[in-house]
Amino acid sequence: MKTRARGHHTARTLDQLAAGERAVIASVDCPPAIARRLMELGLLPGTEVQVIRRAPLGDPLEIALRGVHLSLRTSEARHIDVTPA
Partner 1 sequence: MSRPPEAAPRRIAILGNPNAGKSTLFNALTGLRQKVANYPGVTVEKKTGSCDLPDGRRAEIIDLPGSYSLQPASPDEMVVRDVLLGLQVDTPPPDLIVFVVDATNLERHLYLALQVIELGRPIILTLNMMDAADAQGLRIDAAVLERQLGVPVIGISAVRGTGLDRLRDLMARDVEPSTRHFREWPSHLQRVIDRLEQRVPRLPSVPDRARRDVAVAMLLDQGEDDALAKHVSAEALADAHLLARRLDEFSPGWRSGDVAGRYEAITALVAEAVNAPAGDHKDARRAAIDRVLTHRIFGPVIFVVLMGAVFQSVFAWAQPLMDLIDWGMRAVGNGIGHAMPEGPLRSLVVDGIIAGVGTTLTFVPQIAILFLFLSVLEDSGYMARAAFIMDRVMSRVGLSGRSFIPLLSSFACAIPGIMATRSIDSRRDRFTTIMIAPFMSCSARLPVYALLIGAFVPNRWVGFVTLPGITLFAMYFLGILAAVVVAWALKRTVLAGGLPLYVMELPPYRMPAWRSVFITVRERSLLFTRNAGTVILAITVVLWFLASYPKGGEAVRALEAERTQVAAAGDTTRLRALDNQIASAALAHSFAGRTGRLIEPAIEPLGFDWRIGIGLITSLAAREVMVSTMATVFNLGSGESDVQPLRKILREAVDTRTGKLAYTPLTGISLMVFYVLACQCMSTLAVVRRETNSWRWPIAMLVMMNAMAWLASFTVYQGGRLLGYGA
Binding stretches for partner 1 (CB under 8 A): 32-42, 44-45, 52-53, 55-60, 62, 64, 66-73, 76
Distance CA 31, CA 29 (A): 7
- Pick between residue 8 and residue 57 the one whose CB is nearest to partner 1: 57
Letter for the amino acid at 28? Answer: V
Q: Shortest approach of partner 1 to residue 58 CB, angstroms?
A: 7
Peptide bond into 45 cis (omega under 30): no
- Pick between residue 5 and residue 57 the one whose CB is nearest to partner 1: 57
- Pick between residue 11 and residue 52 the one whose CB is nearest to partner 1: 52
Letter for the amino acid at 52? Answer: I
Q: Shortest approach of partner 1 to residue 52 CB, angstroms?
A: 8
Distance CA 54, CA 18 (A): 9
Q: Shortest approach of partner 1 to residue 14 CB, angstroms?
A: 12
Distance CA 41, CA 72 (A): 12
